[in-house]
Amino acid sequence: MSSQKPVIVWFRQDLRLSDNPALSQAVESGAPVIPVYVLDEETPRTESGDWRLGGAQRWWLHHSLERLEESLRDKGAGLVLRSGPADEVIPALVQETQSQAVFWNRCYEPFAVTRDRAIKSALDEAGVAVHSFGANLIHEPWTLQTKAGEPFKVFTPFYKAALAKGEPAEPLSPPKRIAAATLPQGDRLSDWDLLPQKPDWAGGLRDTWTPGETGARGRLAGFIGNTLGHYKKDRNRPDLPHSSRLSPHLHWGEVSPRQIWHSVRRHQHESGGGKIDSAAEAFLREVIWREFSYNLLFHWPELPARNWKPEFDDFPWRDDAKALRAWQRGQTGFPIVDAAMRELYATGWMHNRSRMIVASFLTKDLLIHWREGEAWFWDTLVDADLANNSASWQWTAGSGADAAPYFRIFNPVSQGERFDPEGAYVRQWVPELRGLPDGYIHKPWDAPADVLERAGVRLGKDYPERLVDHKQARRRALDAYETIKKDKAA
């Protein structure tokens, strides 16, 4: 065993061994390595919001840490689990283990940025080196700026600037071996109670996901090999499995955006372009949307809590606990909305088109504040991500950067008919409507009595009546918007 003092690798949202610069550099230093994960339930409780892990994220984390520990063991190391405020735990661990340096990959949540700066300066003072790396985005948020040197507020120029930077660096291979340090005592994962017990609502999550780096690699390979070719045409269809479903793996850093980028490029190259080219561009553009969200969060740290457009501070939101609950439970009486909300509850994930539909419905048809939707998604999504979630909710509500124009209020019936044309998505998640013919599957209230009877549907009994009339709700939303437009003009 080496006589050198050890170094700590602090895993956070980078639960992988490959393309992990913090880990690779720590290993290359030649010192024995102490890998650690800290469950910190203090730092994310901020004045402007409580961003402790939601239920679905906790489930994911448990399994991802199990996998990470196994992979580290395979390389000769292990994983130390500690809990508590990271700004106390990390310096204490440094002292306890007499470590000479700490390595980490950067996080971008405002509370994480503040915490990391504080830890770095405390360790600097103690003569302990901190080495931080960019690993979870292709471009660090401060490296893309407008010509005027400002952060981007609009996606398209951001996207062009990202492309103009050229191809990202090639991903790093995982270390062959990790020189093990004597590991200090850690917590037992099972003692963290990350998994739901009573009730155990995670059955649908277990059936749907394989958390961990190997699961992420399999998902990426399957998507590129089987589905990417359909992506451009069908990415908006919640009834088809044609998006990558990489979002939770990306959120937890089980795969890096650089790895995704280069795998797609390699496939493009090998398949000689054609249909793959435009599909690949459409897909990589979405990966850059993620970077845009991070750019917004980094430069506007209040994004998760405050309207990006301040005129929305006077928006006449409604308090309606009953309607909110009906939305959360998939009981709004609008089949596409209910299918999407039930998909979320069962699997911890929802298709992007469905997210836009349910977010428009909550904030415009029901006039309920986007923060309520953001909070529900935070608790139920396995990919709950502060940057993507807050940027996307504000985008849909109209209060965000580069937001959809306010008058773009989704009609849940025509959205359903267009993006779930045979009603397969509705039939999967709202089985009580299964017997309805396609022509009524998205608007059961229009079905004649005998059609409803044959399908075994009694509206108001087997399936709820509509919470609102969409036409009237749309008018009400536009009137509400007029009030803030007028305020602005006054």
Which residues of this chain interact with ligand FAD, rule CB under 6 A? 235, 243-247, 250-251, 286-287, 289-290, 293, 351-352, 355-356, 359, 377, 381, 383-385, 388-389, 392-393, 396
Is residue 59 flagged as an active site residue? Answer: no
Looking at the Cβ atoms of 209 and 393, the one nearer to ligand FAD is 393
List, in sequence order, every beta strand (DSSP E) within 40-90: 45-46, 49-50, 80-83
Of 46, 12, 18, 14, the C-alpha closest to 116 is 12
Looking at the Cβ atoms of 82 and 355, the one nearer to ligand FAD is 355
Looking at the Cβ atoms of 82 and 232, the one nearer to ligand FAD is 232
Q: Which of 327, 349, 393, 429 is catalytic?
A: 393
Is residue 60 flagged as an active site residue? Answer: no
Q: Which of 286, 411, 417, 445 is catalytic?
A: 286
- Give me the least distance between CB of 257 and ligand FAD, in Å please: 8
- Give me the least distance between CB of 186 and ligand FAD, in Å please: 29
Alpha-carbon gap, residue 447 to 296, rounded angstroms: 45
- Give me the least distance between CB of 338 and ligand FAD, in Å please: 16
- Give me the least distance between CB of 211 and ligand FAD, in Å please: 14
Alpha-carbon gap, residue 290 to 138, rounded angstroms: 10
Tell me how far apart the terminal alpha carbons of the chain are, to the nearest angstrom: 74
CB atoms within 10 A of CB 352: 15
Looking at the Cβ atoms of 54 and 78, the one nearer to ligand FAD is 54
Looking at the Cβ atoms of 287 and 441, the one nearer to ligand FAD is 287
What six digits make up the tokens of 305? 């809590």
- Give me the least distance between CB of 37 and ligand FAD, in Å please: 21
- Give me the least distance between CB of 425 and ligand FAD, in Å please: 14
Looking at the Cβ atoms of 179 and 359, the one nearer to ligand FAD is 359
Is residue 374 flagged as an active site residue? Answer: no
Is residue 236 flagged as an active site residue? Answer: no
Q: What is the dihedral of CA 9, 15, 20, 23, to 10 degrees?
A: 20
- Give me the least distance between CB of 141 and ligand FAD, in Å please: 14
Alpha-carbon gap, residue 210 to 213, rounded angstroms: 9
Q: Which of 317, 411, 417, 445 is catalytic?
A: 317
In the block, residue with structure tokens 């913090």: 22
CB atoms within 10 A of CB 256: 26
Alpha-carbon gap, residue 63 to 119, rounded angstroms: 28
Alpha-carbon gap, residue 352 to 74, rounded angstroms: 37
Is residue 51 flagged as an active site residue? Answer: no
Looking at the Cβ atoms of 99 and 388, the one nearer to ligand FAD is 388
Is residue 445 flagged as an active site residue? Answer: no
User: Within 13 Å and on the Cβ side, how many CA atoms surround 241?
Assistant: 9
Alpha-carbon gap, residue 138 to 165, rounded angstroms: 10
Grouping H, G, I as helix, E, B as strand and the rest as coil, residue 16 is: coil
Q: Which of 42, 140, 192, 352 is catalytic?
A: 352
Burial of residue 204 (CB within 10 Å: 0-12, 13-18, 19+) is middle
Looking at the Cβ atoms of 115 and 290, the one nearer to ligand FAD is 290
CA-angle at 55, arms to 53 and 56, nearest 5°: 100
Looking at the Cβ atoms of 99 and 136, the one nearer to ligand FAD is 136
- Give me the least distance between CB of 397 and ligand FAD, in Å please: 9
**Residue 364, phi then psi, degrees to nearest 5:** -110, -55
Alpha-carbon gap, residue 98 to 285, rounded angstroms: 45
Alpha-carbon gap, residue 242 to 228, rounded angstroms: 7
Alpha-carbon gap, residue 348 to 380, rounded angstroms: 6
Of 356, 345, 373, the C-alpha closest to 418 is 356
Alpha-carbon gap, residue 61 to 211, rounded angstroms: 8
- Give me the least distance between CB of 264 and ligand FAD, in Å please: 10
User: What are the residue numbers of the active site?
Assistant: 286, 289, 317, 352, 370, 393
